Structure 1
Amino acid sequence: MALIACAAALAVSVCGCAAPAGAGPAQAAAARFLDAVRGGQGAAACALLAPEAAESLAEEEGGCARAVLRLGLPGQGTVKQVAVWGDEAQVRLSTDTLFLHRFAKGWLVRGAGCRPDPPGPYDCEVEA
């Protein structure tokens, strides 16, 4: 959660700027994850999660593939903003906010189903 708090603070600092380098791949990774969830493809969605996030869901009954589908993530929405700083990214949709990390194999989702939770930064259904 501390990483998500830090990521949110950094994302706020880049508001109003042009889309940073890496925004396209991060946005595409978020879209693939949400498409898998919307399509009922739990195993595919779990493959797009950061290892820590997938492990946290794997502990649920039925494993990650079933758990990620039971969360009721929005799965769609209009992209409002993509912020990238280094190996971290935030994709804000009209219905959800996702946090991603760039690993050697590409962008993976660290947090999904995230909503602002004042006074804290975000409360996420899926988090690493």
Structure 2
Amino acid sequence: MRRMRTALAALALLLAAGCAVDTAAPARAAARFHTAVAAHQDEAACAMLTRQAARKLPDPGETCATALGDLRLGPGGRVTSVEVWGDDAVVRLAGDTVFLHRFTDGWRVRAAGCEPERDLPYDCALED
């Protein structure tokens, strides 16, 4: 009976490990994005956006990098929490909330400069 409990406990641990969600990758992507923005590496930060966000951001005749620099996004800071749902994630940093989507080449920023609004969705300075 004791072996059965040990075997069941081991099986439960293996199943839980198999269902673990990788929160480190989206957290790193959000941190890299904010590091690039803070260093005024706007072209590099634009390359971390979803295609739709990069297209939607600039006004006609403006580049993504110029538009991103004009947004003056706040500091990112340390990661305080990460939630992942399939291919979507939200990373809360000390100074921002960033929404990401996972593509075949990695996590890309869908929205940044986001602040919660009472009973409404987030209000984001940048979104796709």
Question: What range describes the TM-score normalised by the shorter chain of this pair?
Answer: 0.7 to 0.9
Question: Considering only CA atoms, is the larger Rg found in Structure 1 or Structure 2?
Answer: 2
Are residues 1:65 and 2:101 paired?
Answer: no
Q: Deviations over 1:21-68 (max 9, x none)?
A: 221010111111111100101110000001110001133553100111
User: How far, CA to CA, are the matches of 1:50 and 1:70 in structure 2?
Assistant: 19
Superimposed CA distance per residue, residues 61-89 of structure 1 (whole angstroms, 9 cap, x where no aligned partner)? 53100111111111332211011110000
2:26 alignment counterpart: 26
**One-letter code aligned to 1:124:** C
Partner of 1:54: 54
Query: 1:39 is matched with which residue?
Result: 39
Moved more, 89-98 or 74-83: 74-83
After TM superposition, list the pairs within 5 Å mapping 1:1-128 onto structure 2: 21-59=21-59, 61-128=61-128
Name the residue aligned to 2:13.
none
Contact 1:76 1:95 in 2 (8 A): yes
Return closer, same or farther for 1:106/1:41 CA change in 2, 3 Å cut-off: same
TM-score by length of 1: 0.80
Which whole-Å CA distance do the structure 1 matches of 2:60 and 2:125 have between them?
Answer: 13
* Count of paired positions: 109
Larger RCO, structures 1/2 (Cα 8 Å, 6+ apart): 1
CA RMSD of aligned residues (A): 1.3
User: What stretches of structure 2 of length at least 5 have no aligned partner?
Assistant: 1-19
Q: Report runs of 4+ in structure 1 exceeding 4 Å deviation.
A: none
Instruction: Say whether the 8 Å CA contact 1:61–1:67 is kept in structure 2.
Output: no
TM-score, with normalisation over the residues of structure 2? 0.80
Rounded to whole Å, the distance in 2 between the matches of 1:100 and 1:75 is 17
SS of 1:124's equivalent in the other structure is strand
Q: Using the aligned pairs only, state the percent identity.
A: 48
Distance in 2 (CA, whole Å) between partners of 1:75 and 1:37 is: 9
The answer to whether the 8 A contact 1:60-1:67 is kept is no
